[in-house]
Structure 1
Amino acid sequence: MSLFYFKTVDNDGMVPDDLPFEFPDLFAAVEEAKHVLAEMALDGLPQWPGGSLGIEVQNGDRTPIVRLRLELKVDYVRPS
């Protein structure tokens, strides 16, 4: 088992997690980060186009190793 930290960025700003999570490997940590990101989206999508929600997965030394981001993109389509 390895320790990982999640640093989140949501509509309220950046929040580093002070408590580590234990997972068997990086792939399990990324899967959990996906679930956390989905839960963050349930609380509210980014508030402006181009805004994003994100999670940075850090190893036990707090070195960033994976970043996940959910971005709000708005494209206006011109009627034909």
Structure 2
Amino acid sequence: MAAFYFKVIDNDGTIPADDPFDFPDLIAAIRQAKIVLAEMALDGLPEDPVKALEIEVQNADHRPVVRMKLELQIHWSTA
């Protein structure tokens, strides 16, 4: 098992990566981060000024290894 940290950036601001989560490998950590990102979207889609929900997966040394972003874009039609 390896320790990974999740830094979360959402509509309420940034939640630092304080508590470690143990996963067998990075792929398992990414799989869980995807679930967390989907759950964040259920609580509310990105709003201004953030416009994105993000999770940064950090290794045991708190170094970023993966960043996932769920972004909402609205394009207005001029027709």
Which residue is equivalent to 1:15? Answer: 15
Tell me the secondary structure at the aligned position of residue 67 of structure 1. strand
Unaligned runs of 5+ in 2: none
Tell me the secondary structure at the aligned position of residue 30 of structure 1. helix
Which residue is equivalent to 2:69? Answer: 69
Task: State the percentage of identical aligned residues.
Answer: 58
Kindly report structure 1 stretches of 4+ aligned residues shifted beyond 3 Å: none
1:3 touches 1:20 (CA, 8 Å); kept in 2?
yes
Count the aligned residue pairs. 79
TM-score by length of 2: 0.93
Note the aligned Cα RMSD (angstroms): 1.3
Tell me the secondary structure at the aligned position of residue 74 of structure 1. coil
Aligned pair 1:27/2:27, yes or no? yes
- Deviation at residue 69 of structure 1 after TM alignment: 0.2
2:10 touches 2:50 (CA, 8 Å); kept in 1?
no
